[in-house]
Structure 1
């Protein structure tokens, strides 16, 4: 579990991290070794799931050998409402979501903490107003969770 106590008394307790794949963890379907290493490190602390439509068809290969990282590939025709359904099932208040695309919006509406990755593939403008934190890379997003005291300066009121 990841616990963050803000100075204003707000307490966050996260048990699950849900990542989008393309544009969030991966660029053009490819994931860096740093991101792979950090995902495994994070999975020792919190349940890690990657939910993706897998636009480039490379998610299974990229994440296959990462212990503790669950991959969920959406069926054709499924959209962001399916991502939100998973978040709700796992407990939205105790879930942090990390994404960049318009199809991440439904899970951003309900999650306890929302991190938008504004990387080389851009981000849906709708996520910027829903995000609690915006970062430039997946490495930065994962490090926020691995070192949660970094969140205090950004989230304090």
Structure 2
């Protein structure tokens, strides 16, 4: 579990992290070794799921050596409601969502904490508007979760 104790007495507790894949964890379908290493470390603390349309058809191959993560491949051309349904099933208040695209917006509308990644493939402006936090790389997003005290200044009211 990821727990964030805020100075004002609020406490956030997250049990799940749901990632988009392409443009968020991967560039052109390829995931770096550093991202894989960080995902392993995160999966040791919390349930990690990657939900994707798998544009390049290689998500399972790319993440096969990352133990402890759930990979969900959805149909291409869908509008993201499947991602939101999955987050809702997990429990939206206890789920962190991380993405970059238009089809991530539905899960961003309901996630407990929303982190947008602006990587080499860019990010949807609508997603940025729905985000709680915006970072420049998947490594930055995962490191925030591995060191949750970093989130205090950003989440402070």
TM-score range for the pair, normalised by the shorter chain length? over 0.9
- TM-score normalised by structure 2 residue count: 0.97
Please give the alpha-carbon distance, in whole angstroms, between the structure 2 residues aligned to 1:59 and 1:8. Answer: 41
Q: Does residue 139 of the first structure (1) align with residue 145 of the second (2)? A: no
> Which residue of structure 1 aligns with residue 84 of structure 2?
84
CA contact (8 A) 2:15 2:46 kept: yes
- Count of residues paired in the alignment: 157
Q: Deviation at 1:79?
A: 3.1
> Which residue of structure 2 aligns with residue 19 of structure 1?
19
**Cα RMSD for the two superposed structures:** 0.9
Structure 1 residues without counterparts, runs of 5 or longer: none
Structure 2 residues without counterparts, runs of 5 or longer: none
- TM-score normalised by structure 1 residue count: 0.97
Per-residue Cα deviation, 1:59-81 (whole angstroms, up to 9, x for no partner)? 11111121101100002443310
Please give the alpha-carbon distance, in whole angstroms, between the structure 2 residues aligned to 1:88 and 1:110. Answer: 7
> Which residue of structure 1 aligns with residue 98 of structure 2?
98
> Which residue of structure 2 aligns with residue 155 of structure 1?
155
* 1:4-15 equivalent positions in 2, closer than 5 A: 4-15=4-15
Range with greater deviation from structure 2 (18-27 or 50-59): 50-59
Per-residue Cα deviation, 1:92-123 (whole angstroms, up to 9, x for no partner)? 00000000000000000000000000111000
> Which residue of structure 2 aligns with residue 44 of structure 1?
44
Range with greater deviation from structure 2 (86-95 or 61-70): 61-70
Please give the alpha-carbon distance, in whole angstroms, between the structure 2 residues aligned to 1:125 and 1:7. Answer: 31
> Which residue of structure 1 aligns with residue 114 of structure 2?
114
SS in 1 for 2:107: helix
